[in-house]
Amino acid sequence: MATATLAPTQNPHLISWVDEMAQMCKPDRIYWCEGSEEERARLTAEAIDAGVLLKLDGKKRPNSYYHRSNPNDVARSEELTFVCTPTEEESGPTNNWVEPGEMYRRLARLYDGAMRGRTMYVVPYIMGQPESPFAKVGIELTDSVYVVLNIRIMARMGKVALDRLGASDDFNRGLHSVADCDPTERFIVHFPQDNTIWSVGSGYGGNALLNKKCLALRISTYQSRQEGWLAEHMMLLEATSPSGEVHYLAGGFPSACGKTNLAMLIPPDVFTGWRIRTLGDDIVWMRIGEDGRLYAVNPEAGFFGVVPGTNSHTNPNAMRMLDRDTIFTNVALTQDGDVWWEGKDGPVPERLIDWKGRPWAKGSAEPAAHPNSRFTVPLSNNPALAPAVNDPRGVPISALIFGGRRATTIPLVLESFNWAHGVYLAGTMGSETTAAKTGAVGVLRRDPMANIPFVGYDMGTYFGHWLEMGARLARPPRIFLVNWFRKGDDGKFVWPGYGENMRVLKWIFDRCDGRAAAKETPVGWTPRTSDLEMRGLPVQAGAVEAALRVDAAEWREELRSHAEWLDHLGPTVPRSLRAQLELLDAAVETAAHARIDP
Ligand code: GTP
Ligand code: SPV
Ligand code: MN
């Protein structure tokens, strides 16, 4: 029998479930986390002793730690991720599925004795404001102290969650074991009808922090459809004009495609008096308010962000936030106890220890930091955090922005004609894959609403839910598609991105107020260059036109690919989205035949 700290709860559902899981996993010890600072320091010291964490230089980076993962375990494993609804149709063509009973049996064999010699940490947490009626309680059982310390940053963890739960049975049951960290015995499995997640064989963020992608997106998308709200893979920001007008914007970008950077944007000098503040960088939950507007909250308490490419030009706020209190995973170590990554400020060091723990020398062909190396840091470290982040009611959304990595076709910004057209543009969005998931990088795939890895039910039904949400909104947000990643003939990005994206945000902001002009194209509204603030923009003549261009030949190809995508999703795709395709196809054909530049 395992030794256990006294359970700080009398909740019979919780106690009996922990007991049952412990009998299967057979840990030596059970430890109930309470969430205090004293506990954090103690578990951190234990993690250092066990070689799981390394303390970074306390002067250069106070209260910051370094973790190196197993090299076979550095990104989300979508091919090993399952949504086990009672029927396969409910899970749909974009999720892996196995009959739930069969999957529980398969996994039970992997969990049997997996925690022998280890501690099972009981990690109670809340996603959302503790006072919010919409917050969700989850309990994660894990044998990874790294996971515990990360959840403590990413969610409200410990006693606060048990207090909120009380004697209720309404909590997410998450079971996680790194087991042997064997990719052939790795599974991330969701049982939405049981509000249960079983993950085994990985210690990586999105596979192992079950509060994040597993609960706050996959399980929450499933519940939100039944309950009439939205759970989305989005950043959330507050934009303030010089005259003090405020708009809140939410934006869906696929993994490693710019959410964190956009949410922390610092406007260029010409935007005197404008201010962007952050509410979230990865997940939003949105509900319809009494005034018929869409209200959003960030259910997280921290940032789990991409490190490479972060520097004082691309993201100065992130640089300041990472000065302290940060867990770095899979970056490189300097000889003086600090961290380094590709794209950091300053000269490249002569010598480093790379993310695999090997000596690394300047000029090496391999990167020193893994391309998906990550930081974990509390929201409160962000020097430009929006005060409304703590408002349990959330913030009213004026515009939804979607954008992937597209070398061609998609203009810098495109405003939809209406909600259904916006849902179509988001639902057919494509993006070139990144290092945030295992598998090939740079391959174009459709990623509806940037949420394809995270929608825990049938995709066509999800589109229908989006359309119904629009129909229920008295004042729906406007919907925009953006593309920071279009390339020129020289293979370089035509748009400078980062802070300069403020030029696009300002146009969006002004469109929300009915102020900015636009040009109608066959596929949506775009700005003319004269509709954008161009002063001080560091690009060559013609670059902005190239970024904004809507090309009929490219769109013909694009729409052909959309048709295949909708066919792949099958009969649940709403009729009105198929009608959108028909309309766009006809409009693009007319433009092509007219031989005018659309
Ligand atoms: P997840 O945390 O994986 O969901 O990703 P994210 O959407 O928050 O991505 P993030 O903002 O961390 O950006 C990922 C990569 O895109 C980094 O390497 C950035 O430097 C790069 N990036 C972000 N914004 C821009 C941009 O405007 N232009 C260009 N060219 N690159 C960008
Ligand atoms: C993503 O892959 O979209 C992330 C990182 O935000 S993870 O939490 O690992 O999913
Ligand atoms: Mn993400």
Domain containing residue 328: CATH number: 2.170.8.10
Give pLDDT, residue 481. Answer: 98
Number of H helices, E strands in the chain: 16, 31
Two tokens, residue 40: 């954090």
- Residue 129 Cβ < 6 Å to ligand 1: no
Two tokens, residue 164: 């909120």
Give pLDDT, residue 7. Answer: 87
Helix (H) or strand (E) holding 20: helix 12-25
pLDDT greater than 80 at residue 1 = no
Biggest distance spanned by C-alpha atoms of the chain: 79
Q: By CB neighbour count within 10 A (0-12 exposed, 13-18 middle, 19+ buried), where does 66 fall? A: buried
Tell the residue nearest (CA) to atom 17 of ligand 1: 309
- Domain CATH number, residue 151: 3.40.449.10
508 found inside a domain: yes
Helix (H) or strand (E) holding 280: strand 275-280
Give pLDDT, residue 541. Answer: 85
Q: What is the pLDDT of residues 318-341, one digit of tens each?
A: 999 999 999 999 999 999 999 999
pLDDT greater than 70 at residue 364 = yes
Give pLDDT, residue 74. Answer: 97
Helix (H) or strand (E) holding 263: helix 259-263
pLDDT greater than 60 at residue 393 = yes
pLDDT greater than 90 at residue 2 = no
Residues 480 and 440 in one domain: yes
Mean pLDDT computed over 10-20: 97
Active-site residue, from 25, 214, 257, 512: 257
Give pLDDT, residue 594. Answer: 86
- Residue 498 Cβ < 6 Å to ligand 1: yes
Mean pLDDT computed over 287-311: 98
67 found inside a domain: no
Can you point out the beta strands (E) in 56-171?
A: 65-67, 81-83, 119-127, 136-142, 156-157
State in Å: Cα 254 to ligand 2 middle. 9
Q: DSSP letter string over 528-571?
A: -GGGS--TT----TTHHHHHH---HHHHHHHHHHHHHHHHHH-T
Provide the domain limits for residue 348. 303-381
Two tokens, residue 310: 């972060």
Q: Rounded to an integer, what distance in angstroms lies between the CA atom of residue 439 and that of residue 441?
A: 7
- Residue 118 Cβ < 6 Å to ligand 2: no
Question: Could you count the other beta carbons within 10 Å of the beta carbon of residue 236?
Answer: 28
Task: Specify the range with the lowest mean pLDDT, choosing from 137-146, 335-344, 537-546.
Answer: 537-546
Residues 187 and 222 in one domain: yes
**pTM of this structure:** 0.98
Tell the residue nearest (CA) to atom 5 of ligand 2: 206
* Atom number in ligand 2 closest to CA 453: 3
Last residue of a domain, which of 186, 207, 227? Answer: 227
pLDDT greater than 80 at residue 132 = yes
Q: How confident is the model at residue 138 (pLDDT cuts 50, 70, 90)?
A: very high
Strands 234-240 and 374-378: unpaired
State in Å: Cα 170 to ligand 1 middle. 36
pLDDT greater than 70 at residue 596 = no
- Residue 282 Cβ < 6 Å to ligand 1: yes
Catalytic residue status for 257: yes
Give pLDDT, residue 597. Answer: 55
Can you point out the beta strands (E) in 178-274?
A: 187-191, 196-200, 230-232, 234-240, 246-252
Strand partners, 399: 249, 478
pLDDT greater than 70 at residue 48 = yes
587 found inside a domain: no
Residues 235 and 223 in one domain: no
Percent of all residues in the chain with a pLDDT value above 90, rounded to a whole number: 97
